[in-house]
């Protein structure tokens, strides 16, 4: 089925290695499907582990040339890539909706977010700088320069098929690194379209490669190959742990953006509309399939009933459907296991005494559609508060005391995002400081921007992406002890 692209050449169905499209895979095929309809969209030749090694070798060959370009030249290429991505917004959004399922308007938003990293790091490329310190003797200078890490590997998830790639590739290329990306098997088409646009933007052969194939086989090569000096991963904590262990063998630098279990704290003094809107954004974006999605909402007793009524009223109005249909706000979940997990969490909550305020079942459309759900009477014994649900389920938990709520919020091995809604400035500061999270949304459910450092603490990850700090993940310091200077 033709996705109706204005530029049909953006529909690429082969891996991109060393500036060429690899249309023979040694490991069968990756089948890409549309989660809204179940239709088969494309068959992509799956690369073998040996073919992934060839991609690493190509990135290694391209490294000396790319790292020695002037920063302004790399900036120019990234800026050109940004312009092309912006110009292709509609087509890229269609590919995202097609293979990931999110509503088209959200997909357009993702393309803008993805593009923002290309623009931002085009600018940051020119600002890589070092230090000079007075030495311990007058004859000595301490000079610190910053150099690209080398060949980088990126393993990316399906929930943001464009942005999770540019958030890694843009700082890597800006720093002078080369990269091999393994996109999620569910969403390779967006990644391959980005490669097509990279080529048009003038990214040299071997500098940016996309390899499609079996995650374990290719993951084993990317983590085991000594030519890869850095692994950057976004995905589940379980796979992150495994990749960290595999990378230990060759002592790679790593960045890990792992799972979350974001708490929301709504205090009595919150503005009701702001809190409800913020929670809806933080929960239902991408059908709840977001690592910073609100996973458990603690609401203070004095505002609980009004909050529950209003949030339930608004959730009932959410329009579920195929992301290509007008006005749809909630698309399908990604695959049958995702639906099964939502069902298990709701069944477990109900078995332990939670009450369904709305939703609570598959959507009458069938397939991978699930009704947006609100649960009340939720307790910390339930799986829905302990694990990331990754679906359109909003569990409400009543609390009375601030310290009790903060303790419950922190009672998790995760530490990615947290949100709080209050109009009290002292409380804002106190609670923000007490929350164990890498990011805190205050009176907002929307925190992602290229300007801010994205990342988690505890078992939610290592390192930060975006912001003035994001490029550091792709640079190493070299200290020159300069005698006689
Ligand atoms: P999600 O729950 O978002 O699918 P995963 O952690 O399973 O999260 O997937 C994120 C990325 O990690 C995907 O590109 C997936 O193919 C990849 N992946 C999953 N398992 C492995 C593995 N054993 N080795 C390497 N990559 C893996």
What pLDDT band is residue 2 in, cutting at 50, 70 and 90? very low
Residue range 95-99: average pLDDT?
98
What confidence score (pLDDT) does residue 1 get? 44
Percent of the chain with pLDDT over 70: 99
- Which amino acid residue places its CA nearest to atom 23 of ligand 1? 216
Protein residue with its CA nearest to atom 17 in ligand 1: 215
Q: Which two tokens stand for residue 399?
A: 């609390």
- The 3-state DSSP class for residue 173 equals helix
Ligand 1: residues within 6 Å at CB?
155-157, 182, 184-185, 215-216, 219, 235-236, 239, 242-243
- Ligand 1: which of 235, 259, 335, 461 to mutate, most ligand atoms within 8 Å of CB? 235
Least Cα distance to 182 among 159, 203, 202, 158 occurs for 158
CA distance 266 to 439: 17
Q: Ligand 1 centroid to 384 CA: how many Å?
A: 22
Ligand 1 center–CA 185 separation, angstroms: 9
Strands (E), 214-312: 228-234, 253-257, 262-266, 294-300
Cα distance between residue 291 and residue 343, in whole Å: 19
Is residue 117 over pLDDT 70?
A: yes
Catalytic residue list: 257
Q: Average pLDDT over the chain, rounded to whole?
A: 97
Give pairs for 301-309: CB < 8 Å, separation 24+: 301/268, 301/398, 301/399, 301/400, 302/268, 303/266, 303/267, 303/268, 303/270, 303/272, 303/275, 304/396, 304/398, 306/272, 307/266, 307/272, 307/275, 307/276, 307/396, 308/357, 308/374, 308/376, 308/396
The atom of ligand 1 lying closest to the CA of 218 is 25
Map tokens 């007008």 to a residue: 326
Place of tokens 């000595």: 140
Position 485 scores a pLDDT of 73
What is the average per-residue pLDDT within 44-51? 98
């Amino acid at each position: 089925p033709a996705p109706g692209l204005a530029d049909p050449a953006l529909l690429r169905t082969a891996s991109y290695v060393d500036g060429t499209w690899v249309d023979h895979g040694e490991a069968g095929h990756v089948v890409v499907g549309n989660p809204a309809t179940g239709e088969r969209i494309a068959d992509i030749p799956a690369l073998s582990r040996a073919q992934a090694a060839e991609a690493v070798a190509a990135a290694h060959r391209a490294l000396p040339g790319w790292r020695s370009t002037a920063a302004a030249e790399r900036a120019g290429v990234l800026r050109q890539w940004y312009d092309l991505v912006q110009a292709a917004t509609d087509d890229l959004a269609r590919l995202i909706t097609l293979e990931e399922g999110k509503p088209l308007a959200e997909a357009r938003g993702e393309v803008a977010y993805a593009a923002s990293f290309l623009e931002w790091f085009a600018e940051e490329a020119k600002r890589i700088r070092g230090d000079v310190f007075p030495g311990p003797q007058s004859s000595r200078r301490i000079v610190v320069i910053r150099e690209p890490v080398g060949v980088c590997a990126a393993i990316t998830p399906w929930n943001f098929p464009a942005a999770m790639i540019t958030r890694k590739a843009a700082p890597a290329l800006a720093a002078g690194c080369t990269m091999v990306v393994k996109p999620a098997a569910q969403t390779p088409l967006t990644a391959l379209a980005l490669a097509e646009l990279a080529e048009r933007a003038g990214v040299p052969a071997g500098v940016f490669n996309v390899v499609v194939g079996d995650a374990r086989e290719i993951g084993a090569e990317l983590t085991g190959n000594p030519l890869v000096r850095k692994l950057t991963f976004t995905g589940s904590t379980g796979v992150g742990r495994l990749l960290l262990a595999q990378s230990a063998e060759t002592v790679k630098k790593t960045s890990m953006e792992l799972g979350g279990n974001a708490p929301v704290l709504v205090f009595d003094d919150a503005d009701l509309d702001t809190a409800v809107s913020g929670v809806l954004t933080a929960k239902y974006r991408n059908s709840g399939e977001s690592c910073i999605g609100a996973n458990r909402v603690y609401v203070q007793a004095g505002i609980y009933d009004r909050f529950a009524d209003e949030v339930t009223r608004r959730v009932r109005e959410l329009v579920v459907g195929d992301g290509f249909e007008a006005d749809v706000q909630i698309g399908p979940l990604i695959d049958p296991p995702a639906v099964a997990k939502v069902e298990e969490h709701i069944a477990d909550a109900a078995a332990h005494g939670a009450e369904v305020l709305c939703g609570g079942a598959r959507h009458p459309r069938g397939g991978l559609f699930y009704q947006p759900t609100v649960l009340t009477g939720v307790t910390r014994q339930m799986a829905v508060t302990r694990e990331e649900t990754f679906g359109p389920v909003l569990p409400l938990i009543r609390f009375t005391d601030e310290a009790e709520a903060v303790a419950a919020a922190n009672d998790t091995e995760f530490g990615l995002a947290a949100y709080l809604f209050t109009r009290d400035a002292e409380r804002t500061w106190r609670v923000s400081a007490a929350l164990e999270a890498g990011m805190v949304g205050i009176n907002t459910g929307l925190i992602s921007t290229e300007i801010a450092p994205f990342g988690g603490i505890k078992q939610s990850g290592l390192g930060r992406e975006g912001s003035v700090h994001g490029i550091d993940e792709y640079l190493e310091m070299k200290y020159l002890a300069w005698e006689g200077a």
